[in-house]
Amino acid sequence: MATALRAPAIGSSLSRVDGRLKVTGQALYAAEHQISGVTHAALVGAEIAAGVVRGVDATAALALPGVLAVISHENAPRLARVDDAELAVFQSSAVAYRGQLVAAVVAESLETARHAAGLVRVEYDAREHDVALRPDHPRIYQPEKVNPAYPSDTAHGDADAALGGADVVVDETYETPAVHNNPMEPHASIAVWAGGELTVYESTQGAAGTRDSLAELFEVDPRAVRVVSPHVGGGFGSKGKARPQIVVAALAARVVGRPVKLALTRREMFSLTGYRTPTIQRLRLAANSDGALQAIVHDVLEQTSTITEFAEQTATATRIMYAAANRRTTHRLLALDVPTPSWMRAPGECPGMYALESALDELAIACRIDPIDLRIRNEPEVEPESGKPWSSRNLVACLRDGAARFGWSDRDPTPGVRRDGNWLIGTGVASSTYPTYRSGSRAAVEARVDGRFTVSVCGADIGTGARTILTQIAADTLDVPTDLIDVELGDSALPRGPVAGGSMGTGSWGGAVVRACEALRAKLAELGGAIPDDGVEALADTADEVAALPKLARHAFGAQFAEVRVNPKTGEVRVPRLLGMFAVGRIMNPKLARSQFIGGMTMGLSMALFEQSLLDLEFGDYLNHDFAQYHVPSAADVLDIDAAWVDEHDDQLNPMGSKGIGEIGIVGTAAAIANAVHHATGIRVRRLPITSERLIA
């Protein structure tokens, strides 16, 4: 163990420890693993949105040289029943949405597999489909819970009475479209069966959970399944659980008796890997003339599929943001003939805070109060609905410090009065929040005779820099230089850790790494610092520690500031400046933190101005299912974007005092831009994205 003084690793801007591997192409992603004898699969998706498959004719496909099998519900091996019906591929003739898998071809080459897939002929008995989300639909219902396990509805006080007697009332409806996760690396799998054991090289945010799903589906002992995922090229929630392609790969490998590789095309990802549900949100705010909120009512309508329910927690952030004695939130679902929605960066908080923070801006204008002052006036002393004390809450500091950095004090609140040549100029603000989760995790650390240390945990680095952060945590706990630490991630054979989701990776895996390193130091002390030839290992499991955490309200907070330029003749919107100010506990690595914040803010800008998945009502399919038509920002769209943070160390969360940062950057950004557009033009856009036609009369 080191004895010389050294600078702490935590808090330093250590560059990514796997950066060289990635820029030199040595980091292997799922589809890049070299497996002997690998074959290739290609998919056939349903051409109807609802009905049944009447027959599958594989004659022409099987006649092609190199084709090994065509698999459909007519000949596929049987799988066990699972809760997620999306994974029951080829188990039924029913078609629940356009693009649902109806067949797969396995061939010696990818080119042959794709050619053969185009030769498979599928006959259907179609029924009339229903894919339109609308508030007057007769089948709207209340789910039992919303993701992950929140009550669908909450109510406190008499909101209707407060709305009826208030000095000022805002009652508006806001809409967000369906948007799709589009990570750079597509969902990909290589499945290998050997002696009844299954190994899968997979692009996943959670190798352990994926392993458990496969074991259940194929009715094998989880110890006979291994999921390997050392590097992941982005996920944003879409890789948080097993998706249909991994089941197809494993099924096909069992059928042909050889390894099978399957990587989804960009178009297939629009059907098979989840998306953010569209929402229709009604916000009602009641306030005194001084801006003090008397009531908040947030009613949400969103969609799910007919085969698996997913209810996004869109109104849950409203439950904790601002003080009001009377409050009500509701979630309603409509099951349609569409793919199942799922997690996408900051599920719930992202669309919900767009609506809430837009309504707060409208209330500030109605009360003639500065939008920042309005938010500060309604700062709650405790979490409004639970009454729990905050572990820490520094939203006011974010608003004030961010305003000073942004130059908010010079703002003329009058809409449509600032110009720069042909451009109208406006500024806007919105709050952001995200829950601080921590899950029990296991970790191992080994001291090796060569003087190095190996840290092992079944976490995932999805591009966030998890390897680097865990290296810093281990180095400080062991009191050794970072270059002596090796971190192993992304393998279900490692000590089990939770999914890389919910912004809980560092808090969960890192807490276990701290405890494992502490245990190792104790073992080494007993040995007098001597390390035997076979090394010394220590294990830790933080499940009991997490279960015993005090009952506090744990959330990260932030404030987003935006400046926009709007051309009144063309409706073009530009965003020359974005600033995010955050209170997220101890910042572990400033370089990586800034990267996460500005990445999230860029996605928020994309949500505000570009992204929407357009549904063809006639065929039930998404029309813009490639990057030629599904628009995201380019470098020219992201100009002066910056992130900063207040000094906050929260020792009620984990041994590091950190909060999650991966998702809060997207929350609030779209509302800040929408509020700035109103300030620039006097036009309130309540339906995203803010396109030119919505700004030109």
448 and 521 part of one domain = yes
**Percentage above 90 pLDDT, the chain:** 97
% of the chain with per-residue pLDDT over 70: 99
- For residue 558, the enclosing domain spans 145-179+276-436+552-694
The residue ranking higher by pLDDT, 125 or 2, is: 125
Q: What's the whole-number mean pLDDT along residues 141-152? A: 98
Amino acid at 446: E
**Residues 294 and 424 grouped into a single domain:** yes
Residue 377 belongs to a domain: yes
Which of 487, 518, 547 is a domain's end point?
547
Of the residues 272, 292, 320, which one is the last residue of a structural domain?
272
Please enumerate in sequence order all residues whose Cβ is within 8 A of that of 126, keeping only pairs 6 or more positions apart, or say none.
48, 49, 50, 51
Catalytic residue among 268, 302, 611, 663: 663
- Are 621 and 501 in the same domain? no
Whether 1 is in a domain gets the answer no
Instruction: For residues 408-418, give the mean pLDDT.
Output: 95
Residue 375 located in a structural domain: yes
Tens-place pLDDT, residues 474-493: 999 999 999 999 999 999 99
161 and 115 in a common domain: no
Strand partners, 330: 299
215-240: average pLDDT: 97
Q: What is the pLDDT of residues 544-568, one digit of tens each?
A: 999 999 999 999 999 999 999 999 9
Q: In this structure, what DSSP letter does residue 481 have?
A: -
| Residue (of 618, 672, 658, 661) closest to 47 by Cα position | 618
pLDDT value at residue 529: 85
Would you say residue 572 lies in a domain? Answer: yes
Q: Are residues 609 and 681 in the same domain?
A: yes
pLDDT of residue 157: 97
Query: Which pLDDT does position 367 carry in this prediction?
Result: 98
pLDDT at residue 561, rounded to an integer: 98
Q: What b/e readout covers 15-45, taking b as 16+ CB neighbours within 10 angstroms?
A: ebbbeeeeeeeebebbbebeeeebbbbbbbb
Q: Mean pLDDT over all residues of the chain?
A: 97
The number of distinct structural domains making up the chain is: 3
Residues 502 and 568 in one domain: no
Instruction: Report the candidate in 670, 329, 656 with the shortest Cα–Cα distance to residue 511.
Output: 656
- Rg of the Cα atoms in the chain: 26
Q: Does the annotation mark 663 as catalytic? A: yes
The reply to whether 521 and 665 lie within a common domain is no
- Please report which confidence band the pLDDT of residue 314 belongs to, taking 50, 70 and 90 as the band edges: very high
- Whether the predicted pLDDT of 81 surpasses 90: no
Q: Which residues contact 587 (CB under 8 A, 6 or more apart)?
A: 11, 593, 645, 658
Give the domain CATH number at 245.
Answer: 3.30.365.10
Say whether both 488 and 426 belong to one domain.
Answer: no
Asked if residue 427 is part of any domain, the answer here is yes
Domain boundary among 521, 547, 573: 547
Out of 59-73, 151-165, 266-280, 622-636, which region has the weakest mean confidence (pLDDT)?
622-636
Q: CA 198, 199, 203, 209: dihedral to nearest 10 degrees?
A: 60
- H or E element in which residue 332 lies: strand 326-336
- Verify that 88 and 193 share a domain, yes or no: yes
Same domain, 118 and 259: yes
- Would the pLDDT of 697 be above 80? no
Confidence of residue 379 (pLDDT cuts 50, 70, 90): very high
In residues, how long is the chain? 697
392 within a domain of the structure (yes/no): yes
Prediction pTM value: 0.97
The span from the CA of 677 to the CA of 419, in Å, is 13
The closest of 648, 611, 607 to 629, measured between CA atoms, is 611
| Nearest Cα to Cα of residue 138 among 334, 339, 340 | 334
| Residue 617, domain member (yes or no) | yes
The per-residue pLDDT for 1 is: 54
pLDDT digits (tens, 9 = 90+) for 431-471: 999 999 999 999 999 999 999 999 999 999 999 999 999 99
Same domain, yes or no: 112 and 53: yes
pLDDT computed for residue 638 by the predictor: 87
Specify if 197 maps to a domain. yes
Residues 525 and 582 in one domain: no
Q: Which residues contact 644 (CB under 8 A, 6 or more apart)?
A: 401, 402, 405, 579, 580, 581, 582
